[in-house]
Amino acid sequence: MTTASPPTDAISLRASYLDRLADADERGAVAVALDALDAGVDPETVLLDVVAGAQREVGDRWAAGEWTVVQEHVATHISERVVAAVAVHAPAPAPTGVGTVAVACLDGEWHGLPARLLAEVLARHGWAVEFLGASVPAAQLATHVHRVGPDLVAISSSLPSRLPAARRMVEACRATGTPVLAGGPAFGTDGRWARAVGADGWAPDARAAAAVLAASPDGPWFADGHDPAGTRGTPGDRSGREEQAVLHARRGELVALAAAAVRPDAGEVSEELADDLGHLVDFLAAAVFVDDPTLFDGFVHWVGTVTIPAGLRTTEVAPALDALSAALADSPRTARFLRGAHGAHGGLPAAVG
Amino acid sequence: MEGRRGAPTRDATRVPGPPSPAAPVTPAPPDGPALLEGFEEGVVVCDRAGVVRAANPAARTLLPGLRVGEVVDVAHCEVLARAVRDGVPEGFEAVVEHPGGERHVRGRRGPGLGTSPPPPEPQDGDSTWYLRDVTGEHARTDTLLAAQERAAFLAEAGRALHGVLHLDRTARRVVALAVPRLAAGATLVLRHDDTVTWARAELGGGRPRLGRVGAADLARVPALTAALTGDESLGPWLADELATLTGLGARPGPVRACPVPITGVVEAVVVLADPRSADAPARDDPLAAAEEDLLTSYVARAGTALAAAALHEEQAHLGAVLQESLAAPRLPATPGIAWGAAYRPARETMRVGGDFYEVAQGAERSAFLLGDVCGKGIEAAVLSGRVRQSWHALRLLEDRPGRLLPLLNTALLDAVATRDESPRFATMVLGDARPVGDGTVELRLATGGHPPPLVLRTTGEVETVAVSGMLVGGIREARFGEAEVLLRPGDVCLLYSDGVVEARGPGDFFGEERLAAALPRCAGAPAAVLCEQLEQTVVSWLDGHDHDDVAMLAIQAPRSEA
């Protein structure tokens, strides 16, 4: 597998790394990364362009129905091993005293790899980094912040449906006066929902986060400045919180209702369908929470494009939305978002297909 | 005074207050001047040229420069002079110099006097001015506003200080809040145990700086050391000593040390540079006394916040050390065996609980243990630590699982017998794994009171290892079950605690059936991925509900090493 002169450009490296992932070949994947380091490739390039780049492709393959969830998990597991191997092979230099940062994934966020990569990258920019892992409960984060007193907390999430959890974590940090930098696709392509949950700043990826922190280690990083009174953003608006709580409390019931509406003849609800409908409710709740219908529209649009065997089919989206609308007429914002989402779905009537 | 509501600027003008009595006023009686003598409000009558024609005693008291027959200007009340001359403003407020200190004067124009005979010789075009001394009224308003501002500052300081439980952060906050409200610069020196920490904030100095010195270094700064123990009588070298301690340049100007009231936990002193409140405020100056009170309250609040943070730090350290020793261990990299584990304690702030697992790698056989002591939280974790240590010691003497478990049972019963403790039970599966060489792994298992292990074959088939036994630590004659399992490459044996199947979601328990149904999807996947996937499934089943401790340990014959 190792040729006399291994390729050192990120694109070919990523391709051969992805091949190793596809074969569930942990040793081979580690070798691709370490050989690249030995050939002089920058560790940050290996971590972000090769490993993270390949993981994005893995996600695409899963969304396209080419890979199963377990295959995706195996690939992620291997990539985590690779990141650990890179950290041992080319260790980050000692912290330069620029500050201490705690890196955590939101509660319920199981994709720990992007946060792990951020931790590695920040360590290479002189930060003393504490990596708290995937799915960190808000209580655990609060304990850590009180005990260790980091200069800032970086939270990572890939799923916008975790935004209500993000709000809890941000509040836990703010109570201690610790600024929070949010990162990852969960906070929107422009970081708008990072602001909505009260974070002090947002960065789209690990490189950007390192740059933001290099420019201003103390924050706040949003251009419109600091609001110490904590009045920023709208997330705390009452109807948002209340309607989100209703959706959360009724989640199981709503999934069952929607499942019965889309597949009235199937006796037992398949796990994949229940998962997809659960996500639908979660994204709706998050959209209501941050008062942004585009969050829900985005998910509805996306769910219509992915192919998960036995999952929610494109033609089933409209009836699912109708079933939720009927059950949630009492919640004005929720009902409005559900009506609006029909457009996002392309206006496909339920009967077609 | 700038920016404070209600505080007049000098010679401030005002729109007239309530309309004056309708003109023309009834002619003053012949003894008019005598009538005005008794007024508490000052009355000034001027003619068109600005010459004072009459002034009652109240007006002369308020404006001692006023002379009847001379122009009003000599009274040194500029706005009045202008108003007399121009007719506007019709009402004003002004601060005037007075032998007894500044007075606040409010004036308004009275009615024109017409042609009737007012005192002493009325002429057409005369104007009358009513002057009132409002100094007291102003002082009360200022006092109130200043008191509100001080209360707001203290409230904000209290909120900001008590939200933090980390000592260094609290120290930084103490100095950051003091600047600029209390002084142009603030340095906190704090002794806690054998460490001396200092924090300094300066006007325009950015993030407060923080440093540490050893307690021995205090010998070089005697005045500061005295201040730490509450001594306020300070030498003139305080600023220099502070520079010595922090290595930062001293700021010129007065400094003032404010020892933090004794808390019994930390010793601290706040040194203010260029303080607002002077060292010895005049006793009769209520404003200075209030500033002094503010400083005292602030330092007291800082003291309790520092003490709370220091106490929390001690407790947190205790907890962290304990937690470290009880936390789930890292898994070894064993040739011929792949391990996987997941752990989620019920009390998530603790990260330890009553569930536990251990793996000890050996040359031929690697031993493992997964169990659950009754209870949750730190009490359960401490008991689990006892079980784990006993296991580590006993397995050196007896490696056969079927004999090791009874030994462990006896050890637990003996430990309880020597203490005043009620019996605590545990359930567990223990055993060892031996890579045979052809890629398969031989397992020997023994169990007491624990859910039976499951075996997931690469085909997706799930088998329950039929083995059971009595609770461990219950009775001396307890009987335990034994079993042997052969894992072919890719096969996994899963040990799990009852927190997995008893996880209660919105509707129902997760249950053995769902567990068995979730496994086949992971057939052939690495043991670590299996555990991660199961943990995720269980936690999403919980959907935010409370749960018992959850622990899993997976032992696998690796696929690739056939």
In chain A, the number of structural domains is 3
- Say what the pLDDT of residue B24 is: 41
| pLDDT-above-90 percentage for chain B | 24
Question: Is residue B80 one of the residues assigned to a domain?
Answer: yes
Confidence of residue B350 (pLDDT cuts 50, 70, 90): low
Q: Which of B168, B173, B544 lies at the smallest CB-CB distance from A177? A: B173
- Say what the pLDDT of residue A352 is: 31
The upper half-sphere exposure of residue B445, i.e. CA atoms within 13 Å in the direction of its Cβ, equals 31
For the record, the structure tokens of B492 come out as 């996994």
Q: Position of tokens 């597949």?
A: A263
Domain C-terminal end among B133, B162, B191: B133
B122 pLDDT exceeds 70?
no
Q: Which helix (H) or strand (E) holds B2?
A: none
How far is it, in rounded angstroms, from Cα B213 to Cα B251? Answer: 21
User: What DSSP designation does A232 have?
Assistant: -
In A310-349, the residues whose Cβ lies within 8 Å of chain B are none
- Say what the pLDDT of residue A232 is: 42
Please spell the DSSP secondary structure of B378-396, one letter per residue: HHHHHHHHHHHHHHHHHHH
Residues A141 and A117 in one domain: yes
Residues A334 and A275 in one domain: yes
Residues B84 and B204 in one domain: no
The upper half-sphere exposure of residue A215, i.e. CA atoms within 13 Å in the direction of its Cβ, equals 11
Q: Which of A69, A143, A278 lies at the smallest CB-CB distance from B349? A: A143
| pLDDT-above-90 percentage for chain A | 28
User: Rounded to 5 degrees, what angle do the CA atoms B380, B386, B389 make?
Assistant: 135
Question: Is residue A1 one of the residues assigned to a domain?
Answer: no
Among B25-34, B139-148, B381-390, which is the least confidently predicted range?
B25-34
User: What average pLDDT does range B256-268 have in this prediction?
Assistant: 83
Strand partners, B52: B46
Domain C-terminal end among B294, B315, B336: B315
Residues A284 and A192 in one domain: no
Residues A58 and A114 in one domain: no
Burial of B152 (0-12, 13-18, 19+ CB in 10 A): exposed
Question: Is residue B158 one of the residues assigned to a domain?
Answer: yes
Domain C-terminal end among B133, B152, B186: B133
Domain C-terminal end among A180, A215, A250: A215
Range of B299's domain? 141-315
Confidence of residue B401 (pLDDT cuts 50, 70, 90): very high
Residues B101 and B179 in one domain: no
Question: Is residue B194 one of the residues assigned to a domain?
Answer: yes
User: What average pLDDT does range A43-48 have in this prediction?
Assistant: 92
Structure confidence by residue, pLDDT tens digits, A259-311: 888 888 777 777 778 888 888 999 999 999 988 888 898 888 887 777 666 77
For the record, the structure tokens of B250 come out as 């001293």
Distance from CA of B191 to the nearest CA of A (A): 19
- Best of B164, B311, B343, B510 to substitute, by most chain A Cβ atoms within 10 angstroms, is B164
- Say what the pLDDT of residue B511 is: 86
A1 pLDDT exceeds 50?
no
Residues B299 and B365 in one domain: no
Question: Is residue B5 one of the residues assigned to a domain?
Answer: no
Which region holds residue B439: left if phi is over 0, alpha if psi is between -120 and 50, else beta? left
Range of A322's domain? 238-344
Residues A60 and A165 in one domain: no
More confident residue, B430 or A165: B430
Distance from CA of B3 to the nearest CA of A (A): 21
Distance from CA of B180 to the nearest CA of A (A): 17
Whether the Cβ atoms of residue B372 and residue B427 lie closer than 8 Å to each other: yes
Question: Is residue A149 one of the residues assigned to a domain?
Answer: yes
- Say what the pLDDT of residue B7 is: 43
- Say what the pLDDT of residue A118 is: 94
- Say what the pLDDT of residue B123 is: 57
How far is it, in rounded angstroms, from Cα B288 to Cα B301? Answer: 20
Chain A residues in contact with B505 by the CB 8 A cut-off are 252
B1 pLDDT exceeds 70?
no
User: What average pLDDT does range A187-203 have in this prediction?
Assistant: 88
The upper half-sphere exposure of residue B273, i.e. CA atoms within 13 Å in the direction of its Cβ, equals 21
Domain C-terminal end among A161, A180, A215: A215
Q: Say yes or no for a CB contact (<8 Å) between A177 and B312.
A: no
Distance from CA of A180 to the nearest CA of B (A): 15
Q: Say yes or no for a CB contact (<8 Å) between A148 and B166.
A: yes
Residues A210 and A109 in one domain: yes
- Say what the pLDDT of residue B442 is: 95
Residues B307 and B158 in one domain: yes
Q: Say yes or no for a CB contact (<8 Å) between B163 and A149.
A: no
Size of interface A-B (CB pairs under 8 A): 76
Among B113-117, B171-175, B322-326, B342-346, which is the least confidently predicted range?
B113-117
- Say what the pLDDT of residue B262 is: 76
User: What average pLDDT does range B230-250 have in this prediction?
Assistant: 76
- In sequence order, what are the residues at sequence separation of 6 or more whose Cβ sits closer than 8 angstroms to the Cβ of residue B197? B167, B168, B171, B188, B189, B190, B210, B211, B212
Q: Say yes or no for a CB contact (<8 Å) between A149 and B168.
A: yes
Instruction: Identify the CATH number of the domain in which residue B403 sits.
Output: 3.60.40.10
Strand partners, B195: B192, B214
Residues B367 and B472 in one domain: yes
Instruction: Identify the CATH number of the domain in which residue A156 sits.
Output: 3.40.50.280
Question: Is residue A187 one of the residues assigned to a domain?
Answer: yes
ipTM comes to: 0.75
Among A28-42, B228-242, B397-411, which is the least confidently predicted range?
B228-242
Question: Is residue A48 one of the residues assigned to a domain?
Answer: yes
Domain C-terminal end among A182, A215, A248: A215
Residues A44 and A82 in one domain: yes
Confidence of residue A120 (pLDDT cuts 50, 70, 90): very high
Question: Is residue B2 one of the residues assigned to a domain?
Answer: no
B22 pLDDT exceeds 60?
no
Whether the Cβ atoms of residue A193 and residue A163 lie closer than 8 Å to each other: yes
Distance from CA of B178 to the nearest CA of A (A): 16
- Say what the pLDDT of residue A101 is: 94
Confidence of residue A253 (pLDDT cuts 50, 70, 90): confident
Residues B443 and B516 in one domain: yes
Residues A109 and A208 in one domain: yes
- In sequence order, what are the residues at sequence separation of 6 or more whose Cβ sits closer than 8 angstroms to the Cβ of residue B5? B145
Residues B300 and B159 in one domain: yes
Work out the end-to-end distance of chain A between its first and last CA atoms, rounded to an integer number of angstroms: 47
Instruction: Tell me the backbone φ, ψ of residue B416, rounded to 5 degrees.
Output: -70, -35
Chain B residues in contact with A145 by the CB 8 A cut-off are 166
Chain B residues in contact with A252 by the CB 8 A cut-off are 505-507, 543
Chain B residues in contact with A278 by the CB 8 A cut-off are 540
Residues A188 and A274 in one domain: no
User: What average pLDDT does range A233-246 have in this prediction?
Assistant: 74
Question: Is residue A289 one of the residues assigned to a domain?
Answer: yes
How far is it, in rounded angstroms, from Cα B161 to Cα B173? Answer: 7
Q: Write down the mean pLDDT value for chain A.
A: 84
Q: Say yes or no for a CB contact (<8 Å) between A73 and B525.
A: yes
How far is it, in rounded angstroms, from Cα B496 to Cα B482? Answer: 17
Structure confidence by residue, pLDDT tens digits, A70-97: 888 889 999 999 999 999 999 888 888 8
User: What average pLDDT does range B105-120 have in this prediction?
Assistant: 66
- Say what the pLDDT of residue A2 is: 47
Nearest CA in chain B to A279: B540
Distance from CA of A303 to the nearest CA of B (A): 20
Instruction: Tell me the backbone φ, ψ of residue A205, rounded to 5 degrees.
Output: -150, 180
Structure confidence by residue, pLDDT tens digits, B66-112: 888 888 888 888 888 888 888 778 888 888 888 878 888 889 888 76
Say what the alpha-carbon torsion angle B63, B68, B73, B76 is, to the nearest 10 degrees. -20
pTM for this model (two decimals): 0.72
- Say what the pLDDT of residue B163 is: 80
Q: Say yes or no for a CB contact (<8 Å) between A77 and B532.
A: yes
B312 pLDDT exceeds 60?
yes
Please spell the DSSP secondary structure of B131-187, one letter per residue: EEE-HHHHHHHHHHHHHHHHHHHHHHHHHHHHT---HHHHHHHHHHHHTTTTEEEEE
Strand partners, B447: B429, B481
Question: Is residue A260 one of the residues assigned to a domain?
Answer: yes
More confident residue, B254 or B171: B171
Residues A146 and A73 in one domain: no
Residues B64 and B148 in one domain: no
Question: Is residue A83 one of the residues assigned to a domain?
Answer: yes
Residues B182 and B202 in one domain: yes
Residues B548 and B433 in one domain: yes
Q: Write down the mean pLDDT value for chain B.
A: 82
Confidence of residue B392 (pLDDT cuts 50, 70, 90): very high
Q: Which helix (H) or strand (E) holds B417?
A: helix B401-417
Q: Say yes or no for a CB contact (<8 Å) between B165 and A70.
A: no
> Which range, A349-353, B119-123, B474-478, has the best average confidence (pLDDT)?
B474-478
B124 pLDDT exceeds 70?
no
Question: Is residue A67 one of the residues assigned to a domain?
Answer: yes
Residues B104 and B176 in one domain: no
In chain B, the number of structural domains is 3
User: What average pLDDT does range A232-247 have in this prediction?
Assistant: 73
For the record, the structure tokens of B320 come out as 């962290």
Q: Position of tokens 């930060």?
A: A127
Instruction: Identify the CATH number of the domain in which residue A22 sits.
Output: 1.10.1240.10
Residues B346 and B407 in one domain: yes
Among A51-60, B117-126, B187-196, which is the least confidently predicted range?
B117-126
The upper half-sphere exposure of residue A190, i.e. CA atoms within 13 Å in the direction of its Cβ, equals 3
Residues A46 and A124 in one domain: no
Residues A77 and A107 in one domain: no
